[in-house]
Amino acid sequence: MPTPSLTPNSALSEGLSIHVFGHPSAHPEAIAELFGGVVRQVAGETCDLAVFVIDPSLGIDGSTIQNWELLNDSMPPRMVIVTGLGNHEADFDDAVLLANRVFDLTVTPYLVLHDDQGVPCALISLSDLKIHDYSTTPPTITESDPELKTLVSEFQSEYLAAIDVMGEDGFAAGLLFPAIPLWIEKGIGVDIVQSYIAQLK
């Protein structure tokens, strides 16, 4: 049964112009439908948010890279959404490395956690190290254990340093590019993307 968090949130994006870019294999149409955006082939028109959808197992095509570069002058808020989390050929970390190489340096507000079978099931916030468990609806938010905090401490330091340099409003100012893992069917990351969109209202 669909949950409220997975329904298209037109109210959230009402009044915002959200342009979605990406190769069809990364399913930008589904992202646009879910978050009230429009898929664009060329980054020509002004928008309030540009969303770049990538699947790490498929790479990033030249057209998507070119569209990113076309927005370097107008500098709208930009976000990278990583799909294909269920594909074991590549993962979120691979996607971030790829995006950093062909776009600009991104930040990762959340990292992906996996279950015993290696399937993504939760995210850990690098701002407060709390775990968002998507095996429940709505997601359950809990404290992470000391071992996990130690494991991600270096990633947290890098993230907090980027926020310190760019400021809390760096995303809205078009200076900070969050990379968000998203698995629509499991609800993973949907609320996170929604929270970023809400910052632009």
- Write the single-letter amino acid at 22: G
Total-model pTM: 0.92
The pLDDT score that the predictor gives to residue 9 is: 53
Cβ proximity of 181 and 82 under 8 Å: yes
Domain assignments of the chain as residue spans, ordered by start: 4-113+153-198
Give pLDDT < 70 ranges for the chain. 1-13
Is the distance from CB of 60 to CB of 54 less than 8 angstroms?
yes
pLDDT at 1: 28
Query: For position 13, what pLDDT does the model report?
Result: 60
**CATH tag for 4-113+153-198 (out of 3.50.50.60, 3.40.1110.10, 3.20.20.150, 3.40.50.300):** 3.40.50.300
Separation of alpha carbons 101 and 167, rounded Å: 23
Distance CA 124, CA 127 (A): 9
Nearest CA to 10 among 168, 199, 200, 194?
A: 194
What is the reported pLDDT for 109?
Answer: 98
| Residue 130: φ, ψ to 5° | -90, 150
d(CA 30, CA 80): 15
Tally of CA atoms within 13 A in the half-sphere of 45 that contains its CB: 12
Residue (of 98, 193, 107) closest to 157 by Cα position? 107
User: Tokens representing 154?
Assistant: 């270096």
H or E stretch including 173? Answer: none
CB neighbour list of residue 144: distance below 8 Å, 6 or more residues apart: 124, 129, 130, 131, 152
- What type of residue is 94? D
Query: What is the DSSP annotation of 129-166?
Result: -EEEETTSSSPEEEEPPHHHHHHTHHHHHHHHHHHHHH
pLDDT of residue 201: 85
